[in-house]
Amino acid sequence: MKQVGIEALNVYCGETYVDVPTLFAARGLDDGRIDNLMMARKSVALHCEDAVSFAVNAAKPIVDALSEQERAGIELLVVGTESGIDFGKSLATYVHDHLGLPRTCRLFETKQACYSGTAATQMAAAVVAASPFPTTKALVISSDVARPVPHTYVEPSQGAGAVALLVGDRPTVAAFDWGANGFHSYEVMDTCRPDPEAEAGDVDLSLLSYLDCLKGAFADYATKVDGADLVETFDLLAMHTPFPGMVKGAHRAVLRKLKRMSPPAIEDDFVRRLEPSIEYPRQVGNIYAGTVFLALASAIDKAVIDRDRRIGVFSYGSGCSSEFYSAVITPRSQRTVRAMGIQEALDARYELSVPEYDDLLRATAELKFGVPDFTFDLDRFPQITGARFSDAGRPRLVLEAVRNYHREYVWLGGRR
C-alpha cells in the first residue's frame, strides 16, 4: 500500500472581517458570552463572492505551483459544500473551468453538512491509493459562505472560507494513517438548511450530538488501532470547530468521562494539544465543510513540530455523520504550510465597521437563489475593493453576473 496524504494545503478566507466584540456590542448581545465563544474575528464574504470564487481562490496557488505533468495527473476534483448554487449542476464544474484543470478528470460536489469535506478527502485518498499510476492526484476543496442570522448569538461565529487540499502519494503536509478511521453516524435534526437563505436547528441538540459523535467515533477508531488512547496516542488534536469554545467544552467533557482527569490536567492538555488548532478558527469563524481543515492548518502552523508528530482529527457534520482519523506531520509539514502565507493573508483583511458589515449583508442578499439574471456592481464598496483588487495585488476571482442562470466570473487584480 502506497503512502497517501496531503501534498499541499491552502486557505482563502476572504478580504474582510468584522471584530466579534464590536459586533456583540452593536447587536446588544451579552458580552459575558464572548469568553465562552472564544472568537476574536469573523470572515465576511463580499457581495460578489460565493462558494465557487472562494474555492478557486483557495486552490489557485496550489494549482499554479504544479508542473504541466503534475496538473495532468489530477484525475479527481471534489468540492465539499453546503452552499450549493444549483440543485443539479455541481459548482465543481465552475471550479474546474476557472482552475484550468484537464478534461480527463472526474468532478462533482459532496454534501453532508460540515462533514462533506472529510468525505471528499477520504474518497480522494482511496482513489489515489487504488490507482496503478504514480502520477495520480486529487484536488479536494471545502468551500462555504454562511448566510448570517443577524441579532442572534449564532451570527458572531458564522464565517466564510475555503480550504484546498492536494491529495497524492507524496504527502508533504500530512501522511494519513491508512485504515485508522473511526465512524459514528445517525439521523438527528440538530441543524439544517431547509431554505437557501436560512439555517435552522436546535443548538443544544447539536452540541450533544457533537459530543456523542466525538466519543463514538474515537471508540470505533480504537477498535481498529491497537492500544489507541485519546491522550497518549496523539501529540496534537484538530477538531471541527463551529466556535473554539465548543471544542474546549467537548475536550473537557470527554476527558472527564474517559480519563477521569482533574480540571488543571484537562486545561494543561488543551493548551498543549488543542490550542494551536483553534488559532485560525478564532480569526475566521465557522466555515462549515472546511473548518476541520482550517483547524488542521492552524495546528500545523502554530504548534511546536520539531519531530514527526501524530495528530488526531475529528470531523463532524450535522444530521449527522462523523469520523475520527489520524495522520503524521513533520517539520517539513510546517514549513510547507507556513510558505502559503495563511496567517499573513488573515492579518491583511480589511476590518469592516458594523455599518459597512450590514451594508455588505444587504448587498449580498440581493442575489436570490435561482434568479436567472443579475449583474453585480463591482465598484459598490470601493473602500474595500479599490486597493485589494489593484494590479499590484494577487488575482482574485469574483462573480460578475448571472445570465440565463449561468454564473459568469472575472479575475480582478494582479497578473493572471
User: Which DSSP string corresponds to 118-138?
Assistant: HHHHHHHHHHHHH-S-TT-EE
Q: What is the pLDDT of residue 191?
A: 87
Q: What is the pLDDT of residue 217?
A: 98
What is residue 112's DSSP assignment? B
Q: Report how far residue 312's alpha carbon sits from residue 177's, in angstroms, rounded to the nearest whole number.
A: 10
- Asked if omega into 320 is within 30° of 0 (cis), the reply is yes
pLDDT digits (tens, 9 = 90+) for 87-127: 999 999 999 999 999 999 999 999 999 999 999 999 999 99
Residues 6+ apart with CB under 8 A from 139: 59, 62, 63, 74, 76, 77, 78, 99, 101, 124, 164, 165, 166, 167
Q: How far is CA 103 from CA 70, 129, 167, in A?
A: 14, 21, 18
Residue for grid cell 474515537: 218
Strand 41-44: give its sheet, edge to edge: 41-44, 16-19, 350-352
Q: What is the pLDDT of residue 413?
A: 85
Q: What is the pLDDT of residue 142?
A: 98
Give the cell for residue 88. 443539479
Q: Report how far residue 155's alpha carbon sits from residue 20's, in angstroms, rounded to the nearest whole number.
A: 9
What does the buried/exposed string (b/e) look like for 238-250 if buried means 16 or more CB atoms within 10 Å of the residue's CB? bbbbbbbbbbbbb
Q: Which residue stretches of 225-353 are H helix?
A: 244-259, 263-269, 279-284, 291-302, 331-338, 342-347
The radius of gyration of the chain's CA atoms, rounded to the nearest angstrom, is: 20
Asked whether 23 and 148 are in contact (CB, 8 A), the reply is no
Q: What is the pLDDT of residue 387?
A: 74
Q: What is the pLDDT of residue 66?
A: 98
Asked whether 39 and 243 are in contact (CB, 8 A), the reply is yes
Q: What is the pLDDT of residue 391?
A: 63
Please count the other Cβ atoms lying within 10 Å of the Cβ belonging to residue 413.
17
Q: Which residue stretches of 131-163 are H helix?
A: none
Single pTM value for the model: 0.97
Calculate ∠ Cα 270-252-248, nearest 5°: 60
Which phi and psi (to 5°) does residue 347 adopt? -65, -30
Q: How many helices (H) and strands (E) does the chain have?
A: 15, 17
Reference 193, options 406, 92, 51; nearest CA is: 51
- Using CB atoms within 10 Å of the CB of residue 341, give its burial: 0 to 12 exposed, 13 to 18 middle, 19+ buried: middle
Catalytic amino acids? Answer: 82, 114, 240
Please count the other Cβ atoms lying within 10 Å of the Cβ belonging to residue 233.
16
Q: pLDDT below 50 — which residues of the chain?
A: 416
Give the cell for residue 25. 456590542
Q: What is the pLDDT of residue 151?
A: 87
* E runs forming strands in 45-195: 74-80, 106-110, 137-145, 160-168, 174-183, 191-195
Q: How far is CA 106 from CA 77, 90, 93, 127, 138, in A?
A: 6, 12, 10, 11, 9
pLDDT digits (tens, 9 = 90+) for 273-305: 999 999 999 999 999 999 999 999 999 999 999
What letter represents residue 22's amino acid?
T
Helix axes 20-27, 354-365, angle to 10 degrees: 80
Give the cell for residue 284. 475566521
Asked whether 237 and 311 are in contact (CB, 8 A), the reply is yes
